[in-house]
Amino acid sequence: MTAVHDISDGGLAVSVAEMALAGGIGGDVSIEDAGPKWLFGEEQGRYLVTTSASVELEAFAADSGVDAMQLGETGGDKLVFHAMDYAEVPLHVLRAAHEGFFPKLMGADAALA
């Protein structure tokens, strides 16, 4: 494994975005028939794992009685989601939105005071 993130805070889509921002690596996520509950459900006990040995990890999980499935691949400079409606976001745009939220919020509050 190269990275692990629980999905209990924001769900799978948020965890993928957080991992991409933390590592500076994009990804391509393909999940058939994934709706909002699947992408944003904050269930306990679910983890997102990156690895260069996905076949071995899936076999280990199966032997351990744990459900596991490959959701996509890492790489590039953008996040691509093939679920519900297609979505593609360059990491620099995602980072600007993520890092600019609180300063903009604080600036708006300061202007109102």
> Is 109 a residue whose pLDDT tops 60?
no
CB 68 within 8 A of CB 47: no
Whole-model pTM: value is 0.81
Say whether 89 sits in a helix, a strand or coil: strand
The pLDDT, as a whole number, for residue 51 is 94
CB 47 within 8 A of CB 3: no
The pLDDT, as a whole number, for residue 111 is 53
Higher pLDDT, 31 or 93: 93
What is the spatial distance between Cα 19 and Cα 76, in angstroms, rounded to a whole number? 13
Strand pairing report for 78-82 and 86-90: antiparallel
Q: pLDDT digit string (tens) for 38-52? A: 888 888 888 999 999
Q: How confident is the model at residue 16 (pLDDT cuts 50, 70, 90)?
A: very high
Query: Residue 109 has what DSSP assignment?
Result: H
State the average pLDDT for the chain. 87
Higher pLDDT, 83 or 64: 64
User: In the predicted model, what is the mean pLDDT of residues 64-76?
Assistant: 93
Which residues in 70-97 are b (16+ Cβ under 10 Å) and which e? ebbebeeebbbbebeeeeebebeebeee
List the domains of the chain with CATH numbers. 3-112 (3.90.650.10)
